[in-house]
Every structure is written in C-alpha cells, then in structure tokens.
Amino acid sequence: MEIILAETAGFCMGVDLALRRLDKLVAAAEGRPIYILGPIIHNPQVLKWYGDQGVIIAKEPEDVPSGACVVIRAHGITREVEEALRSRDVVIKDATCPRVKKAQLLIRRHTAEGRELLLYGEADHPEVRGLVSYAEHGHFLFDSEEELDSYPLVKGKSYVLAAQTTQDRVIFDAIAEKLEKNKNIDVKVLQTICDATKLRQKEANKLATEVDFMVVVGGYNSGNTRRLAQVVTDQGTPCKHVETVGELDLDSLRGFSRIGVTAGASTPHHLIQEVLDTLNDL
C-alpha cells in the first residue's frame, strides 16, 4: 500500500497566524483568563487544547468582563459586533485572517458606490456573517448557481459579486462568467477566494485521480475541509472525511493499493501525522 500526502495539507497562513498570536497571549497570561469571541478556528481538538489552557469562548461581547483580553477569531466578526466590543473596557487582539479582512474591506469599498452585494457562501458560517455586514447597500446570499438563478436581478442595476474565502473557485468562476455576459446588469467581480483554498482544492482534485481512496482530515464544522471532501467525491474517488484517525475503518482500507491524504486549513499537523502513521502501519 502506498500513502500519498497532499503537499499543502494542514494549517494555512491565516490559521497559523491566529494561533501564534493566541499562543503568545496564553504564555503571557499568568493565569488570567483569555476570551475568544467565538471559536478561533473550526477544529474541536484545537479548541479543547486551548480550553485546557484557560481560554474561554464568549458568544457575545457582553460575555467578556471589563479589563479582560479578548481575541477576534480568524473568521472575523460582524461590524456591529466589533463596534460593540470596542465600546467596552477590554483589550482587543484581532486575529482575523488577513485574507478575510481584505475581503471585508473590498466589499465595503465597492458597495459604497451603490452596488448590491451578491455573495457566494454558507449562510450559517461566521465568516459570511462578517462579510455581508460590510455591504453598504443590501446583499443577496446564495450557496449554489441555481439559487442565484432564482434571484431576480434588476435591469440597469449595479452589483458586486464576491465569495466566502474558502469557496470552490471553479464554481465561482462559472458564476462570474455567466453574470458578466448578462448585458442587462453592471457587475463588479471581486476575487476574494483565498489562494491557499484554491491550491488545496486543485491538489485534492489531482490527487484523487491518482489514488484508489482519499482520506480528508479536519473538523466537521470546517467549511474548507468539507469542500475538499466534496472536490474528491465529485472526481468519483471514494473518500472518507474524519476528524481523528480513530474514525477510520482500517479493515475496509486494506484492499486499496494507493491512498491519498489531505487536510483542511484548520487541521493541526499531529492529527494528520497520526493518520499517516496508522495507514503506513497497514
């Protein structure tokens, strides 16, 4: 059996930066609690580790006591929540991924011209809630090309098309091309999908054609990890999405000669290595 690991599996730049900032705070805390406004990344094993170090997840700005240190999650927060947070007597450390922050500012700049935002993303994702909060003149959120097709675009109106940073680039490009061919509207396309996301999806797609089976490692609540699994499945390759190696049915894998492994952008190295070690032991 041959085990092949995707080259860019695991932490992306934004996640690595956010956790490095949090690590520095934990090291200097001297027992004082540190708060995060929502999970800093979408990986339950990482969140448990920080919880054991005294890091507390707050749901609302009001949950953070005066004088405490609060970290803004890698996915970012809404403008309204940030304003509420800055009105309180707390020390703020912004760990928003630079790619997400750039997308927020691009949306604010281009919708300030009077354009309506068309956003390709997941309605229940915290990054998406943050992005649409920067739209100055309304927004329409969709998670499929078919859903956008059902939305009545107004003749002569101006729009901005953008995407959640971890969305599928191939689908987004097809949507953009279709809108740009519509002569009845004026659309500005923003390239907000992260390069790291595009690269992971491209690698997963290629690796899926070279192996008999794929394992995708990462949190079930991680959007970019779920999309990696979907990319592989769409290629027609059998695939299993797991958070930890204990979820693999090893006996069912013995019949495969080549197994590919990739992981989401919020998956720590040690969880990937445990999967690799176990598969190699087969």
- What is the C-alpha to C-alpha distance for residues 229 and 227, in angstroms, rounded to an integer? 5
Say how far apart CA 43 and CA 57 lie, in whole Å: 13
Q: Is 62 among the residues known to form the active site?
A: no
Alpha carbon distances (Å) from 126 to 129, 130, 150, 256, 267: 5, 6, 25, 38, 18
Q: Can you tell me the distance from the alpha carbon of 25 to that of 198, in angstroms, rounded to the nearest whole number?
A: 31
Contact 17, 95 (CB under 8 A): yes
Residues 6+ apart with CB under 8 A from 18: 40, 41, 71, 73, 74, 95, 96, 97
Indicate the Cα dihedral angle 196, 219, 117, 169, nearest 10°.
Answer: 40
Catalytic, out of 2, 80, 82, 127:
127
Interatomic CA distance for residues 82 and 266, integer angstroms: 23
Strands of the 34-37 sheet, one edge to the other = 55-58, 34-37, 69-72, 91-94
Looking at the annotation, which residues are catalytic?
A: 127
